[in-house]
Each structure stands twice: as C-alpha cells, then as structure tokens.
Amino acid sequence: MFVIARLFYVQIIWGNELQIKALDQWTRNVPVLAKRGEITDRNGVVLATTKETYTVFVRPRAVTDLDGVTTVLSNVFSLDKGELIDKIKNTKVSEIKVVKHVGKEYVEKLSNYSLSGVYFAEDVTRYYPYDELLAQVLGYTSADGNGISGLELYYNDQLSGVNGDILYQADLTGVDLKDKTPYYRPATDGLNLRLTIDYEIQQILEAVTDEAMSVYTPVSASAIVISPVGEVLGMSMKPSLNLNEVPLGDLETLNKLGRITLIADSYEPGSTFKVLTASANLNEYYNGNDKAFSETHTFNSSRFRYIDGSKIKCWSTHNNGKHANENLSEALNNSCNPIFVDIALALGKEKFYDYVNSFGYGKVTGIDLPGEAQGMLIPKQAVKSADLARISFGQAIACTPLQLLMATTSAVNGGKLYSPYLVKEVYSSGGALSSVTEPNEIATVIDEKTSKTISSYLEKVVSNGSGKQAYIEGYKVGGKTGTAQKYKDGVINQGKYVMSFIGFFPADKPEYLCLVIVDEPVGGTYGSTVAAPLCKKVFEGIINCKGL
C-alpha cells in the first residue's frame, strides 16, 4: 500500500516539478531579446533606437580547452586571463557572462576560432543619435533595457516587446546534442512612438537654451514650444546629460540633470499670471458682471494698494510715484501690480478662484510623462484678501512652467484649455497603428471674444510695451514678461529671480506658443530684457526653418 501511495505522489503530485527539473537539466536556454521600439519626431527623424549588440557567455562544462578559450577571450576583450580562468573553474552556475553590449565585429572575430563552450546572444543596447537632444523628455533605460525615466518609462510596456528564446538539448555536461533540432520561439519587437516633437524646432530650442547658459550663467534655462491645441513641438532644459553616457550609479547627478523641470518643478509665475486676471475680468464684463471693469475704465493711478495692513506696490517709479491714468490694456503693457489687485478684489474670491481652477492651476495638465507636479494653490477657504491680491499678479501661487503655458495658450487660442501631449502615434515595425492621440479639449475657459481682445492686448505688449524685445518686424507677435521672486526658508531670497516670457504668433491666430525661463541669470534685470529676446530668437528660427 505504501509503494502505491508513493508512486501516486511521484507521478501525479510531484510529476510536474520533476519534469521541469529534468527539462532544465537536459536543455540550455538562450534568450532572443525583443528589439525595443524606436522613438521618432513627427517627421520620422529617429531620436531613440536599438543598436545590434551581443552578450558573450561561457558554459564551463562545455569548455574543452580552458587555456585556449581564456587566451582568446582575454585578448579580444582586454580582460585579465587569470581572473577569467578562476571565474570559469570555480563557478557553480551553468553559464557566466563574459561581456555585454559588444558590436557584431567582435562576434565575427570569435567565430573564426570555433571555441568550445563559448556562445553569444543578441542583446539590447539603447542608442540616442543626438546625445543630449530632448534628453530629459526621452529619458533613458536601465542596463537590461527597461525604461526608467521620461518617455522610455511612461511608454515602457509599448516599447519593450516580448522576448523569445532558443532551447537546445544538452547532455549532463552542458554540451549540445548534435542530432537534436533546437526549438526557436521568436521575439516580438516593441512598438514605435511617433512624437509631436519637431526636430527642427527642438534644435532651435537647444541652441537658445545653450546661449542662455553661456551668456547669463544661470542655475538653469529652459524653453518649450507648443501648438494651440497642446501638441508639444519642442522642450529643452539645461543643464542636461548625454543619453549615451548616463551615470546610472550616480543618483544625485541623475536627479540634477535628468529631472523634467518643465513639468516637475513649481515656481511663482510673476507677471505672466496677469494674463489670467485680465482674461477673467474681461470675460466677466462681456457677460454682464457689473463688478468687472470695462475696456475703457480708468484705474486709480496710485502706485500703492494697502490690503489688510500689507502694502502692495508697482515695480515702476515713473511719474513721481504715480502712473498716468491707465486702462486694462495699458496696465498689461506696463505690468502694473495694483490694477490687477483691483480686479481680483472686485471679482471676489469665489469668482476669481473659479477662473484659477478652470485655467488648470492646482492640478496636473495630464501630459504623457512621469513625475508631473500639480503646483501649489492656497485652498479657497483659507484665502484672505491679501493672498488674493498677490495671486492676481502671480505671487502666493506656484505652478509648473507647463501649467502656465497651457493656461496662457487657452487665453489666446479662442478660450479652449487642452491637455498637452508628446506621442502622436504608437505603431508596429510594419506600420500598423496601435493608437493615435487627438487633441483633448478639457474646458472652455473664456469666450472667443474675450480671447481675441486679450490677444490684441498682448500684441501691444510686444509692439510697444514691456515685451518689445520680442518684436519681429513684419510679424504679429504677442506676449507677456515675468520677473518672479524666489524664496529660501520661507522668506524672499533677495536678488534671486526667475525671469520668463510667454510669446505667441501670429498674434491674431496663434500657431506657435513659446515659454522661455531663465533661473537666476547673472547680469539680467527683468524677464523683458533676458527672456523676451531669447523667445524672439526661437520665433525667428521657426520663421526661417519653416519658410513662413
């Protein structure tokens, strides 16, 4: 009875496990790695691809000439022969890796020697043809080919594919049985990504941010260009890193150089935020809100406002401490803080916060990248009048650069807030489409009439206001400057500023929108003198390369 029970256990219960052990003992598995999908720009320029490289390994039990094998391997790959001998003789595993990611020429050289116990298999080596171009956005992969940042991480499942393998039958020493046919399971290559990025525009941004770093030696410089419906046409952040020489073991450097600051870091937007305040006011006025100010309303010319014991002043000291009488358009031209304070307080916390929320502040934009921050917005119930006053001109609120750009875009594109996106198509190597991304309209934030009026105001800012250094003869360019304070340990860090400019053209029907940010420039005074000229160079580059 015991024998019968034991047979039942061995054959039925334990049988599957024994089969697996036998298969492992009598077979040798060589992986066939899937080719990781390519990433291209919108026109097919390859930005990330996979090189044909190989891993060389040894099965110690199949080595018949240890001295000959180690001599050849050490000479071909510049390895220490003694260490290699020890590794082969003393290992308890069936296979040891000798080298990874070597070129085909090395494998061809080894093939001439017919070395017993030496094998090779194709592996995955990610390659970026343009080194630093779009570095943080593309991201990079681990040593085994998995995405760990940027698009490489966000779309890792689509890019990775499925590995295959070759199964050889072998004897107890690990030597292949010559009369047995190997079993081959092909790999399924990863899908490819076609981005919204335009390689030519990306090159322009790289050159402009490089110039900013060279001329102003700032902490950082960044620029982004989008279409009016949220297609990201270019993103550049400096300092950067070479994607073909990523220091995977240096986390501090990776965090410093690989961070996607345009979506991950928040800052006070400063005067660029005034576009929202002006838009909210006009939209309310056009819709019959008697608390809003008309286009022709003349604001109090005093440079100061006193709110809950706090003194808020304008940056300008002209006219002996008083502005000339100003309407809303002129207030944008002169970037006068007190006038925007008047608007926010007149609209009231509830109504003003409705616009702040609808423009997308305090929430992620939804871009297809990992690590996006939502910014910092004081909860409405906690906002006091002094807070509301400062928010009106871009203080006491923090946003990511992308949030600011998307909000401003909605103010001038007809009033539509869109989700930004980077991947237009996901497709197979044979060209079959897996998915296509279309513009995603989130909300209507202002009326088209309001949007047209704001666009005309911002064109005047460039043609004869604070943004005139972004003016291009013969082209309708609109924009707004920003010079934001920086804080350290909760207090203003004197003399430290983030300088920015948001521009768009043609002003009456935007096709290209650009945000340039320079953090702590040396020798720069305002966003109007640092960031606006850089934005002009971006637009001039686009005009030239697109033949506009």
Given the residues 240, 271, 329, 528, select the one marked as catalytic: 271
Query: In 302-383, where does DSSP find H-type helix?
Result: 328-334, 337-347, 349-358
For residue 225, the 8-state DSSP code is E
Which tokens in the block code for residue 257? Answer: 């150089």
Which tokens in the block code for residue 193? Answer: 């990504």
Backbone angles phi, psi at 509, to 5 degrees: -155, 80
Is 299 in contact with 271 (CB distance < 8 Å)?
no
**β-pair partners for 127:** 49
Which tokens in the block code for residue 124? Answer: 């995955």
Give the C-alpha distances (Å, rounded to integers) separating 543 from 311, 404, 410, 540, 547.
44, 24, 23, 5, 6
Task: Please report the DSSP string for 179-223 in residue order.
Answer: TSPPEEE--BPPPEEEES--HHHHHHHHHHHHHHHHHH--SEEEE
Taking the C-alpha atoms of residue 513 and residue 372, their distance in angstroms, rounded to an integer, is 20
Q: Which residues contact 536 (CB under 8 A, 6 or more apart)?
A: 469, 470, 471, 472, 477, 503
Q: Is 385 known to be catalytic?
A: no
Backbone angles phi, psi at 44, to 5 degrees: 95, 5
Cα 484 versus chain centre, distance:
23
Q: How many helices (H) and strands (E) does the chain have?
A: 19, 19
Q: For residues 476-489, b (16+ Cβ closer than 10 Å) or e, as one string?
A: bbbbbbbbbbbeee
Which tokens in the block code for residue 399? Answer: 């946003």
Give the C-alpha distances (Å, rounded to integers) separating 425 from 144, 145, 228, 232, 428.
25, 22, 19, 13, 10
Taking the C-alpha atoms of residue 57 and residue 466, their distance in angstroms, rounded to an integer, is 65
**In what helix (H) or strand (E) does residue 305 lie, and over which residues does it extend?**
strand 304-307
Taking the C-alpha atoms of residue 179 and residue 470, their distance in angstroms, rounded to an integer, is 76
Q: Which residues contact 133 (CB under 8 A, 6 or more apart)?
A: 47, 202, 203, 206
Q: Which residues are catalytic?
A: 271
